[in-house]
Structure 1
Amino acid sequence: MYDMTVIWEWVEIAARWTHVITAIAWIGSSFYFIALDLGLRKAPDLPVGAHGEEWQVHGGGFYHIRKYLVAPAAMPEHLTWFKWESYATWLSGFTMLVLVYYLGSEFYLIDPAVMDLAPWQAIGISLGSLAFGWLAYDTICKSRFGDDNTRLMLLLYVILVAMSWGYTQVFSGRAALLHLGAFTATIMSANVFLIIMPNQRIVVADLKAGRAPDPKYGKIAKQRSTHNNYLTLPVLFLMLSNHYPLVFATEYNWIIASLVFLMGVTIRHYFNTKHARKGNPNWTWAATVILFIIVAWLSSVPMMRQEAALTPAAQRFADAAGFDQVTQIVQGRCSMCHAAEPGWEGLMWAPKGVHLETPDQIAHEARRIYLQSGVTHAMPPANLSFMEEQERAAIVAWYRSVSG
């Protein structure tokens, strides 16, 4: 008999691995081309239409690279496009969103203590917010307001702060920060799919037809690419945040997310300035450290401890046969670490923010307990609390009596 929980776990692993691989490819190429663009130099022998050149060394060889600000005089025979990295990153990320937060909405997306939503309502808000983000951003960029890039970036930051607060009023803390990352990543990927690539296709079509390409298409694409460059690091932080309760399990999580966007700007400003050979603005690192200290302080402010009502899914596990036995097992073998005040020496807070002190908490974490202690021996780590095989078997039997 197939264990669907284990199968879905492997589906999630495959999707997550794909997401990481494609994200590395996209971010790597994006950072490289921004650095290359900023490092271009004028040279007396540049061809007509060339904006600058750069000599680089890597892998035992030298590379001579030239950039045409609009387009070369004729269409090159070989042209490499950079697009699938972006598409695959968004598609694999959305797959993760569906697998973890939509299919597991009662556990990870909805927090009745924040807003008591039905799964379809929460998923609808999630999808609607992603669409809203792109439409609002794109409309502003195309308006006269978007002609000034500094002014545009400031307004975008205000929107991101508003969304940071808004998500925390609807979803669980974990889902709120993850959605803020998805909100921003959707804008970034849509920039590639709906703006940068179509503009590049127009330029290529003009070259093939023998027409002089309009410089505005390159200018627009450069603006969107610059936005993506500054948004990348905050998105990475937000995507990792769901593993760290100190980030999401605090009433100030939306402020933390807002400050993370500023840290992304300060870090990228340093590297972009350095690549442009305009000096070393070391003050940006001081600013980043100060912001990080503020974030760490905010995370240490007493966390939200309001006990949420059991979701229907958790209630089924609480009502299942064998739950009393499993509760005793988990409280005896796991709660010394997974507690509001851990009893294990050296632990200041529960690993991953998972609390297993009460029956309700145990029912809510049924899937994790099953996978970590029932199917595998990952928990307790090194079996420090000596969980016995019959106890693991009891956990498996309890979970499968509900999940099938």
Structure 2
Amino acid sequence: MDFTILLHWAEFAARWLHVITAIAWIGSSFYFIALDLGLNRNIQGPADGEEWQVHGGGFYHIQKYMIAPAAMPEHLTWFKWESYATWLSGVALLILLYWVGAEMYLIDWNVMELAPWQAMAISGLSLVVGWVAYDLLCKSKLGDNPTALMVLLFAIIVALAWAYAQVFSGRAALLHLGALTATIMTANVAMIIIPNQKIVVADLKAGRSPDPKYGKIAKLRSTHNNYLTLPVIFLMLSNHYPLAFASDLNWLIASLVFLMGVTIRHFFNTMHARKGMVWWTWGATVAIFGVIIWLSILPLMRADAVEEARLSPYQERFIAHASFDAVADLVAGNCAMCHASEVYMPGLAAAPGGVMLDSAARIATQAQAIYLQAGVSHAMPPGNFAYLTAKDRALIRRWYREARGGAI
């Protein structure tokens, strides 16, 4: 079995794990946010609030202590591994897909000419620098003014979205904005929230009264995580929707997604706090989404001159192979009706997955996908639209393997 097939299955395993752990993290996070907002605080005693809930045929009585109970409970459950596992599996997927496949997914020579090592360095450093900058802002005097801090952070997000779009491919730009946001969220848990909770626990065990400042600091970071969750999900899904990532205005689309995250979370936060249904938030969300749709098609309304795509060494390797012309003819006859800048297949608004195969450079860029989808497997083209013979698929396999330098 060659390396490309093993890599493909490794990506699948990492993605599966990422989805599983993300469900666990987001599920527990949303549950505790709703629980905290819905607590009955009109009670006597040291507890900050309590709640009775029914689920699965049983009744649950839950109490919250703002700082800590008088004595340390014998059994204490920590909610942290869901966050850590989500981030670790996400980084694994980033490495497998965007670092190992940098020439295919991360780099676009029509955006910036980068060597794979340069693109990977920018990718990794941006996550580290982004977290450090965010953490310093939160620890500054702005931390005492949450609203001003949130406005400044949004402005920084817009700048980062634009910056990523000037360096990486559209797909990678939105993915990295989501990865940076997710890194901030997990670092909030690992480096702020959990350490602060451990300080409180240590004080209780030592018989000291915990300082309430640790809970205040953790609450600020938890609030940020609350509002960042939905934009991260959108950005992680965006790589499947070219109208989101392949637009010239993808950075602005990504920025507006964060506003939708705020409006949606505000509705649920208000509802869970029993303050009523603020339905205007859904109107605002629909309006913002309408602007996003408009921005996605705005470049199509302009009559810009078509420029010749610049070829990277990765693309040239596949175009220079002796079998390329024959493979290009197969692709043009069986794939380009759907995978093109102008899609002619009814029911498709854009090329599926953003994969376009209507030029030599684009065919070379998607060489691995063509190999896996039409050479190794029969996933493409769909049987109802075109048909590749066993000989055709063998030609694709031979072209890819030889162009990559033999069995890999």
TM above 0.5: yes
- Offset at 1:402? 2.6
Q: Which residues in structure 2 correspond to 1:75-114 (within 5 Å)?
A: 75-114=72-111
Alpha-carbon distance in structure 1 between the residues aligned to 2:289 and 2:61: 39
Give the SS at the match of 2:156: helix
**Contact 2:243–2:350 (CA under 8 A) maintained in structure 1:** no
| Residues 314-359 of structure 1: per-residue CA shift (max 9 Å, x gap) | 2211122311211111111111211222232333322222221222
**Contact 2:371–2:396 (CA under 8 A) maintained in structure 1:** yes
**Contact 2:228–2:261 (CA under 8 A) maintained in structure 1:** yes
Alpha-carbon distance in structure 2 between the residues aligned to 1:284 and 1:260: 14
**Contact 1:107–1:311 (CA under 8 A) maintained in structure 2:** no
Alpha-carbon distance in structure 1 between the residues aligned to 2:219 and 2:97: 34
Q: State the match for 2:198 in structure 1.
A: 201
**Contact 1:113–1:307 (CA under 8 A) maintained in structure 2:** no
| Residues 38-58 of structure 1: per-residue CA shift (max 9 Å, x gap) | 0111244x442x100011111
Structure 1: runs of 5 or more not aligned: none
Q: Which residues in structure 2 correspond to 1:266-285 (within 5 Å)?
A: 266-285=263-282
**Contact 1:164–1:176 (CA under 8 A) maintained in structure 2:** yes
Q: State the match for 2:28 in structure 1.
A: 29
2:234 aligned with 1:234, yes or no? no
2:28 aligned with 1:14, yes or no? no
| Residues 159-178 of structure 1: per-residue CA shift (max 9 Å, x gap) | 10110111111111111110
Alpha-carbon distance in structure 2 between the residues aligned to 1:293 and 1:253: 14
> Taking every aligned residue pair, what percent have the same amino acid on both sides?
66
Alpha-carbon distance in structure 1 between the residues aligned to 2:109 and 2:157: 24
Q: State the match for 1:362 in structure 2.
A: 363
- Offset at 1:110? 1.2
Alpha-carbon distance in structure 2 between the residues aligned to 1:188 and 1:391: 48
Give the SS at the match of 1:401: helix
Give the SS at the match of 2:208: coil
- Choose the corresponding residue for 1:216, options 213, 216, 233: 213
- Offset at 1:220? 0.8
- Offset at 1:383? 5.1
- Offset at 1:361? 1.6
Q: State the match for 2:380 in structure 1.
A: 379
**Contact 2:242–2:351 (CA under 8 A) maintained in structure 1:** no
Q: State the match for 2:143 in structure 1.
A: 146
Q: State the match for 1:336 in structure 2.
A: 337
**Contact 1:70–1:213 (CA under 8 A) maintained in structure 2:** yes
Alpha-carbon distance in structure 2 between the residues aligned to 1:154 and 1:343: 43
Q: What do you get for the CA RMSD once the two structures are aligned? A: 1.3
| Between 373-382 and 78-87, the greater mean CA deviation after superposition | 373-382
- Choose the corresponding residue for 2:154, options 131, 154, 157: 157
Give the SS at the match of 1:308: coil
2:191 aligned with 1:190, yes or no? no
- Offset at 1:258? 0.7
Give the SS at the match of 1:211: coil
Alpha-carbon distance in structure 1 between the residues aligned to 2:194 and 2:363: 49
Give the SS at the match of 1:66: strand
Give the SS at the match of 1:115: coil
| Between 234-243 and 298-307, the greater mean CA deviation after superposition | 298-307
Give the SS at the match of 1:381: coil
* Alignment TM-score, normalising by the size of structure 2: 0.96
Letter paired with 1:351: P
